[in-house]
Amino acid sequence: MPITIADVAARAKVSKTTVSRVLNGKGELDESTAARVRAVIDELGYVPSSRAVGLARGRTRVVGMLVPSLTWPWIGEVIQGAVDVLETERYGLLLFTCNRGEESMRQFGAQVSAKSFDGLLVIEPEGTLDYIATLHRRGLPMVLIDDRDQTSGEIPSVSTTNHDGAGSAARHLLEIGRRSPLVITGPERFGCTSQRTDGFAAVYADAGRPIPAERTSLGDFTVDCGIAAVQTALEAGVEFDAVFAHNDLSALGAMQALQDTGRRVPQDVAVVGFDDIPTAAHTQPPLSTVHQPLREMGEAAARTLLAHFEGTPLPNRPTVIPASFVKRGSTVE
């Protein structure tokens, strides 16, 4: 049979209330009594219910995290950053995905109602922003990671410099003499798409090389969209000497399509991605890309939330961690 708080109390010859006070560090107790209770706890191997201790302390010491899916190649880095901070501070993580759509969100909502966690980290699943904002207005502490939809700032957030990161990719391509890039964007509904589009285009425009519509292809962040964009451009006779893709997966698709048609990367066409997922360093050739500080973003979001639990107000401005350019073999030999 599992050891209970009653067993500890009986062996230590104190009340269950006294044992509870020792466990929770509440109330004034004679030190010899507290030491005796701790000794009995060690002797019996008693492990208190984390939920019961949480209720006694007024918090669960669990943080919830809502993400679209674990299949996105960069999500793991963000989660690991958050976990590193939470585990160091002895918090648990309750992870929710939206793989099953409305059913997943119903299960998430039930855990919110049950107060199963003290606060929430969010990589916003598509179509959930209004609901998430409502939870925030009702008092659930939260931090949004990767503010794709450019919210008004109502929800505290941690993001990166999409505009400047794309600009750094453009400057690199110009420095190596690439004047006619093909741009493969992300979905129009995402804020990061417009930021990356504008940042890249501005650098080329300043250099007197504005990017025409025929060299911009609307994508969806997949390998297939990168393949399709390159194939369509080649079939239409569009001339380009570089590809800038809004994420690494579509850049990998572009490289595959180029190589399948006999184009050499980077000699004929240089290719740049965005994200710096782990695979990017191991492609043939290795992919030049804009590094998103994914783990650092997860760490910063978790620290912000935990600081709030200790009394620090949540920031009313986004926390921005700069992106950086990583030069590899897909742009330079």
Tokens of 224: 């297939």
Q: Which of 214, 51, 199, 208 is nearest to 117 (CA)?
A: 51
Inform me whether the pLDDT recorded for 331 exceeds 70. Answer: yes
More confident residue, 151 or 71: 71
First to last CA, the chain: 67
More confident residue, 70 or 168: 168
The pTM of this model reads 0.79
Residue 89 CA: distances (Å) to CA of 17, 57, 236, 302, 307: 27, 16, 57, 10, 11
Percentage of residues of the chain with pLDDT beyond 70: 93
Q: Average pLDDT of 215-243?
A: 97
Q: What is the pLDDT of residues 42-70, one digit of tens each?
A: 888 887 665 555 555 567 899 999 999 88
Q: Average pLDDT of 132-146?
A: 92
Residue 56: DSSP 8-state: H
Q: How many CB atoms lie within 10 A of CB 143?
A: 27
The residues pairing with 95 across neighbouring beta strands, listed in sequence order, are 65
Q: What is the pLDDT of residues 283-302, one digit of tens each?
A: 999 999 999 999 999 999 99
Q: State the Cα–Cα distance between residues 233 and 255, nearest whole angstrom.
A: 14
Q: How many CB atoms lie within 10 A of CB 327?
A: 14
Confidence band, pLDDT 50/70/90 cuts, at residue 248 = very high
Radius of gyration of the chain measured on its C-alpha atoms? 26
Helix (H) or strand (E) holding 184: strand 181-184
Inform me whether the pLDDT recorded for 321 exceeds 80. Answer: yes
Q: Average pLDDT of 119-143?
A: 91
Tell me which of 12-26, 244-258, 303-317 is least confident.
12-26
